[in-house]
Structure 1
Amino acid sequence: MIKINRSLLVFCALSTLQAQQERNQITLDAVASEARALIEQPARTPEALPQELQSLNYDQYREIRFRPSEALWWNTDSKFRVEFFHPGHLFNDQVKIYEASDTHAQEIPFMKNAFDYGNSGYDPGFFTKPKAYSGIRVKYPVNKQDVYDELIVFLGSSYFRALGAGQDFGLSLRGLSMNTIGDQEDFPRFTKLWLKKPQADSKRLTVFALLEGEKVTGAYRFDIRPQGITQIDVHARLFFRDGGASEVGIAPLTSMFVHGENSNRTSITDWRPEVHDSDGMLVHANNEWTWFPIENLPGQTIQRLPTAKLRGFGLLQRDRDFRNYKDLEANYQRRPSAWIEPIGKWSTGEVVLYTFGTDTEATDNVTAFWKPDIDASIQDSAEFAYRITLQTKDPTHELAKVLETRVGQRTLDSTARTVIIEFSRPESIELDEIDGLSVGFEYGGAEAIEAPIIQYNEPEDRIRVFANFKTAQGRQPESPYKMSAQLLREGHQVSERWNYTWKH
């Protein structure tokens, strides 16, 4: 009888598996194969982080600093450099990170010597160290050729943030949202990241990611191109369990709005005129451009725009005037806008804008995403591709843009309200044509006092629309009035459609 050394067999099997992994060519199909295998199993629970790291407070966690000399590709000719985040505080995910070439993939092990622990109180030589990093920070000469700026950060669940030239971090991007407007939101997470090593002269970085959630798994490819404005092409292949397809939100954006020019000024004690990372959602669909001003309303507010043909949507920071913020540290006028454009043909669906009330700028209370019309019991994978553009200018069109929204008490009439909409005056509208414009105005259930009025705002070269209305007696306070307005010339639209939710 031949005696089998089982330990040797296990070692050989593991060695073969490791060699296969090292020779593995990382593509979207390869990551999707892993995602497809995972969807056939129960959802995996993330491995708990050592308690010593979970218990770090904000200040302690900030004391853990990555050493720039340990960055991936720092000593190569590539203009991309990758730094790593230490797990701890709020960032409890441990993400496996790999460097990939055209033929091989190699895991990047966690190295405690890559960090300066300062006065954090955490000693990796004494406490249990984590098994992996929690995320990555990619640096690139975004603004100056000899300065490595933050380009993109992957950190926390499926969140990532990116910057273009002259921008400061503001809104966040996400790989996927699940059940955002339901009873209990799920936060799928990236559990693996593969960094494709760029050529020395490459101006593109490719990152692959494996997504895992309670009802979804997925494979992602991110092609990141810094070119003044930063563009990210996203290709995603998703697999669902337990009806998860009905909860999915594609290309989600998350932002913050505390107050702006449209806010109720009597309740604001902040010394700054406005505080927000984004001031509106713009949608290009159904042969129209629609602008949704954001407001910080009590409770939850959901706005939906059904789309037969979606061309683009995004959360924008349209107000770029420092005088409207006055904050020398936050620099809200430099927060990027994020514009999503489908790549290929998307199905019908709806763009959703979800907000909830907040009294602090530390809370992201704005989410926008596209909800596709797909069967909740879908058996095959669902694939989506889109481009994200981070910029400070708006997407280009020739219509009049909504620049400001203001709502307040009607002058000398405490029982009525006035809404004022400031539109830009595009070159296509001559001064002598303004008197011939009309406005289609929907009051959303409020009582119109008189027909809305159009005026030329000469000091600012704008077209102003104002309307007076009264609210219904006995209406529930939380019940919103969903209003809309659009400038027309001989019945044809010459402006964005203004969609506004107001609560009395």
Structure 2
Amino acid sequence: MKVHLTLLVICTLGTLSGQQERKHITLDTVAEEAQALIQQAPREPEELPENLKALSYDQYRDIRFRPSEALWWNADSRFRVEFFHPGHLFNNQINIYETSNTHVQEIPFMKEAFDYGNSGYDPGFFKKPKGYSGIRVKYPLNNEEIYDELIVFLGASYFRALGAGHHFGLSLRGLSMNTIGAEEDFPRFTKLWIRKPKPKDKHLTLFALLEGKKVTGAYQFDVHSKGVTEIDVRTRLFFRDGGEAEVGIAPLTSMFVHGENTNAPAFHDWRPEVHDSDGMLVHANSEWDWFPIENLPGQTIRRMPTAKLRGFGLLQRDRDFRNYKDLEAHYQLRPSAWVEPKGKWSPGEIILYTFGTDTEATDNVTAFWKPDLQEAPTEGLEFSYRITLQTKDPAHTFAKVMETRVGQRTLDGHSTTLIIEFSRPESIALDEIESLSVGFDYGRAEPIEAPIIQYSQPEDRIRVFANFKTSGASAQDRPYQMSAQLLREGHQVSERWNYTWKP
């Protein structure tokens, strides 16, 4: 007789290896476990059976969770939770629990919850795994009758989330460690507690235990679906061996192969642009800075010191299908992720790290906040922030950088033309455009003449047109860092454009 996972969890309490326990799970209880672990040597993940590790991508995809086995599938709930089978690259087995205000119950691995199809894996013959590799939470995002993917936890500390009308794009992470160092560490969630929601709840609370070589941590995720999806994150971190010097808070990971600022024919791609995000926006102190992303060879690191961070994110600003032409990937529907600190964060710096890639299957963009930490207190460091998944930009009154285009100067093979197009906000009248000026920093490049400001009537934009040249072999040494902003009587009226260019 077929036994549903939900019923099994509810009706056979005390008969499984994960028994029901009277306990109230909070950030504090998870932090107690994390603090105890930091006193011990780092724990290595338990080895997955070889036959599961050897599964190819296509074989692994043939192992499908049965929707009828989802947690809360037959309950009066707007949420359903499905589980991922370990295998292929996903060899981290997570202990997963359902919790309420009074009890906690482990959800055991159930082979009956999966259809193994043509995967070649026989759960009756091979040694079965001890846990799942992650979860998929479903919720009626777009239609009250259809359960769509809302948030997914899968792989290390990675998670992804969607709002209404979105397609999966960039990834979120619990933590990054030594991302720009010699060897990056990938801390992993090893336990996950899911609080059972009330019937009409539109939010879901999860707790997670994080373990890494030099860090442990406790996390609380409060996920709210409001058309846009908001995730309130609280984390308490504990470090060993100087790990506080390697930490990256609220990391975002994305992909950029080519855009309007790239020589697309070099990629032999029929699509005009291919990217999940096209820039990083930072709101620090009272200013807004935009960093267009570029796919440069090797590794590129941009640092932005901040005394008072108000927000940062990786955005997909270009929402025009005509600039992608991809009927399957739908890059114009990939969400932007905006991180807003809660409470007081110490000074630090935003880091944008990219490396060259020739395939959209590689996430080659990472952004995070690196706090200035001399020493981590023994009671741990706590951070709170909100991540918003949306297709609109964070609101401000400045002119926005909409496009960056770079190419050879017309009839001059030794010089370069750079065009920056800003939106025209209501605060800038048409008759004011000619009185604007531009603060332009060419870095090591040599300007040919002063930049020109033009009004682009077809798109109601303000265009900055600049020509520059580089000299000799030094042009190949390292990328050029440039910046520009529109000014009115010496005051900033646009985002500051920050660009990394390499000949």
TM-score range (shorter-chain normalised) is over 0.9
Q: Against the structure 1 CA distance between its residues 485 and 152, is the aligned structure 2 distance closer, same or farther, given a 3 Å change threshold? A: same
**Number of the residue aligned with 2:344:** 345
Question: Secondary structure in 1 aligned to 2:143?
Answer: coil
State the partner residue of 2:446. 447
Q: How far has the Cα of 1:476 moved from its partner?
A: 5.6
Aligned equivalents of 1:489 and 1:87: distance in 2? 58
Q: Which moved more, 1:262-271 or 1:341-350?
A: 262-271
Residue of structure 1 in register with 2:122 after alignment: 123
The alpha-carbon deviation at position 20 of structure 1 amounts to: 9.8
The CA deviation string for residues 263-312 of structure 1, in whole angstroms up to 9 with x for no partner, is 02352310000000000000000210000000000000000110000000
Shift of 1:190: 0.2
- Map of 1:174 onto structure 2: 173
CA distance in 1, matches of 2:396, 2:383: 25
Q: For each residue in 1:183-235, what CA deviation from the matched residue of structure 2 results, as whole angstroms up to 9, or x when unmatched?
A: 00000000000000000011110000000000000000000001100000000
Q: Which amino acid aligns with 1:271?
A: W
2 CA distance for matches of 1:386 and 1:84?
Answer: 27
- Residue 250 of structure 1 pairs with residue 249 of structure 2: yes
Q: How does 1:65-84 map to 2 (within 5 A)?
A: 65-84=64-83
How far, CA to CA, are the matches of 1:230 and 1:265 in structure 2?
A: 33
Residue aligning to 1:436: 435
Q: Deviations for 1:343-380, whole angstroms, at most 9, x for unmatched residues?
A: 11111000000000000000000000000111245433
Give the deviation of 1:24 after TM superposition: 1.3
Q: Distance in 1 between matches of 2:154 and 2:249?
A: 19
How many residues align structurally?
488
Query: 1:33 aligns to what SS in structure 2?
Result: helix
Query: 1:364 maps to what in 2?
Result: 363
CA drift at 1:19: 10
Q: What is aligned with 2:147?
A: 148
Shifted more, 476-485 versus 315-324: the winner is 476-485
Aligned partners of 1:244 and 1:376 also within 8 Å: no
- SS of 1:148's equivalent? strand
Instruction: Work out whether residues 28 and 219 of structure 1, in 8 Å CA contact, stay in contact via their aligned partners in 2.
Output: yes
The answer on 1:424 being equivalent to 2:387 is no
CA distance in structure 1 between the aligned counterparts of 2:365 and 2:255, rounded to whole angstroms: 6
Partner of 1:12: none
What is the CA-CA distance between 1:472 and the residue it aligns to?
2.6
Tell me the secondary structure at the aligned position of residue 208 of structure 1. Answer: strand
Q: Identify the residue that residue 396 of structure 1 maps to in structure 2.
A: 395
Per-residue CA deviations over 1:73-131 (Å, capped at 9, x if unaligned) read 11111100000000000100000000000011110000000000000000010001000
The answer to whether the Cα contact below 8 Å between 2:236 and 2:383 also exists between their aligned partners in 1 is yes
Q: Please give the secondary structure, in 1, of the residue aligned with 2:172.
A: strand
Matched-pair identity in %: 77
1:478 and 1:383 mapped to 2: Cα distance? 41
**SS of residue in 1 equivalent to 2:141:** coil
In the alignment, which residue of structure 2 is the partner of 1:31?
30
CA distance in 2, matches of 1:426, 1:279: 21
1:426 partner amino acid: P
Structure 1 residue ranges, 4+ long, deviating more than 4 angstroms after superposition: 18-21
Provide the residue aligned with 1:103 in structure 2: 102
The aligned counterpart of 2:223 is 224
Q: Is the 8 A contact 1:208 1:220 kept in 2?
A: yes
1:467 aligns with 2:445: no
Question: In the alignment, residue 403 of structure 1 is paired with which amino acid?
Answer: M
Inter-partner Cα distance in structure 2 for 1:377 and 1:253: 23
Which residue is 1:213 aligned to? 212
Q: Distance in 1 between matches of 2:240 and 2:24?
A: 27
Query: What's 1:386 paired with?
Result: 385
The answer on whether the counterparts of 1:478 and 1:503 sit within 8 Å (CA) in structure 2 is no
- Residues 368-423 of structure 1: CA distance to partner in whole angstroms, max 9, x if unpaired? 00001112454330100000000000000011000000010011100000110000
- Deviation at 1:477? 1.9
Q: 1:438 to 1:342 in 2, by over 3 A?
A: same
Counterpart residue number, 2:270: 271
* TM norm structure 1: 0.96
Answer yes or no: is the 8 Å Cα contact 2:19–2:105 preserved in 1. Answer: no
Secondary structure at 1:186 match in 2: coil
Paired residue secondary structure (1:306): strand
| Residue equivalent to 2:294 | 295
